[in-house]
Chain A
Amino acid sequence: MTKAVRAGALEKKVYFTQKGLEEAQEELLFLKSTKRAQVTDRIQKAREFGDISENAEYDAALDEQALIENRIAYLEEVLRNAKLITEEPKSDFVVIGSTVAVEMDGEIDEFTIVGKMEANPAKKRISNESPLGATLLGARVGEVVEVSTPIVKYKCKVLKIK
Chain B
Amino acid sequence: MIYRKFKLSKAVILRLSGEDKRILKILEDVVKDVAQLYEQQLSDGFYPSGVSRDQIEKSSRKNATLLSPFTYVSLENKELKAVPFHQKYASYLQPIAQKIETAAKISSNHSFRNYLRARAKSLISGDYKTADIVWFSVRNSAIDFSVGPFERYLDKLFFRKRIFQAHVGVVDQELTEKANQIKETLFISAKISHNKHHSTNIPRKGVNVFVEETPSTSGYMADVLFSGEHFPSDLEIMQQYGSKILIYEPQLKEKFERVHYPIFKSIFEKRFASKYSKELLFKATAWNVLLYELGRQLHKFIGARERLSEFYGPIDEANGFASGIQHAKNLVVKGLISQDELEAIIIIHIVWMFADWLLYKNGKAMESYVYGNAIDLHYYLVSGALKEQRGISWPNFSKIFFEIEALAEILVGLLEKGSYQEAKEFVEKNAQLDNFERLAKNLKNIKLTL
The smallest C-beta distance from A52 to any residue of chain B, in angstroms, reads 13
The count of residues in chain B whose C-beta lies closer than 8 Å to any C-beta of chain A is 32
Q: How far is the CA of A111 from the CA of B330 in the complex (A)?
A: 13
Residue A151 lies at the interface, judged by CB distance under 8 Å to chain B:
yes
Interface range for A: 20 to 34
B interface footprint on A34-71 (CB within 8 Å = 1, 0 otherwise) = 00000000000000000000001101100100000000
| Given A109-B189, A109-B192, A150-B397, CB of A121 within 8 Å of CB of B334 | yes
B interface footprint on A83-124 (CB within 8 Å = 1, 0 otherwise) = 000000000000000000000101111110000100111111
Residue A74 lies at the interface, judged by CB distance under 8 Å to chain B:
no
Contact B181 A131 (CB under 8 A): no
A136-162: which have CB < 8 Å to B? 147, 149-154
On chain B, the residues within 8 Å of A122 by CB distance are 180-185, 188, 336
Which residue of chain A lies nearest to B398 when distances are taken between CB atoms in the complex? A151
The smallest C-beta distance from A108 to any residue of chain B, in angstroms, reads 5
Contact B194 A108 (CB under 8 A): yes
Residue A17 lies at the interface, judged by CB distance under 8 Å to chain B:
no
B155-193: which have CB < 8 Å to A? 180-185, 188-190, 192-193
Which residue of chain B lies nearest to A7 when distances are taken between CB atoms in the complex? B333
Contact A119 B333 (CB under 8 A): no
Query: In this complex, which of B13, B14, B331 has the most chain A Cβ atoms within 10 angstroms of its Cβ?
Result: B14
Contact B14 A149 (CB under 8 A): no
Residue A132 lies at the interface, judged by CB distance under 8 Å to chain B:
yes
A interface footprint on B327-341 (CB within 8 Å = 1, 0 otherwise) = 001011111100100
Contact B192 A107 (CB under 8 A): yes
Contact B11 A131 (CB under 8 A): no
Contact B333 A147 (CB under 8 A): yes
A interface footprint on B310-347 (CB within 8 Å = 1, 0 otherwise) = 00000000000000000001011111100100110010
On chain B, the residues within 8 Å of A133 by CB distance are 334-335
Contact B13 A121 (CB under 8 A): no
Q: How far is the CA of A56 from the CA of B371 in the complex (A)?
A: 47
On chain A, the residues within 8 Å of B331 by CB distance are 121
Contact B335 A152 (CB under 8 A): no
Decide if the interface of chain A is mainly helix, strand, loop or mixed. mixed
Contact A152 B332 (CB under 8 A): yes
Contact A60 B397 (CB under 8 A): no
Contact for A59 among B10, B193, B346, CB less than 8 A? B10
Contact A109 B196 (CB under 8 A): no
On chain A, the residues within 8 Å of B10 by CB distance are 56, 59-60, 63
B175-220: which have CB < 8 Å to A? 180-185, 188-190, 192-196
Contact B189 A107 (CB under 8 A): yes
Contact B335 A132 (CB under 8 A): yes
On chain A, the residues within 8 Å of B14 by CB distance are 56-57, 60
Residue A28 lies at the interface, judged by CB distance under 8 Å to chain B:
no
A interface footprint on B410-430 (CB within 8 Å = 1, 0 otherwise) = 000000000000000000000
Contact B334 A151 (CB under 8 A): no
On chain A, the residues within 8 Å of B183 by CB distance are 122
| Given A131-B333, A149-B339, CB of A121 within 8 Å of CB of B181 | yes
Contact for A106 among B180, B182, B185, B196, CB less than 8 A? B196
Residue B436 lies at the interface, judged by CB distance under 8 Å to chain A:
no
Which residue of chain B lies nearest to A61 when distances are taken between CB atoms in the complex? B14
Which residue of chain B lies nearest to A124 when distances are taken between CB atoms in the complex? B188
Which residue of chain A lies nearest to B177 when distances are taken between CB atoms in the complex? A122
Q: Known A-B contacts: A122-B182, A147-B333. Give 15 more (CB < 8 A).
A: A56-B13, A59-B10, A63-B10, A106-B196, A107-B196, A116-B335, A122-B185, A122-B336, A123-B184, A127-B335, A130-B335, A131-B333, A151-B343, A152-B333, A152-B401
15 chain-A/chain-B pairs, Cβ below 8 angstroms: A7-B333, A60-B10, A108-B192, A108-B193, A109-B192, A121-B331, A122-B184, A122-B185, A130-B335, A131-B332, A132-B334, A150-B339, A151-B329, A151-B343, A152-B333
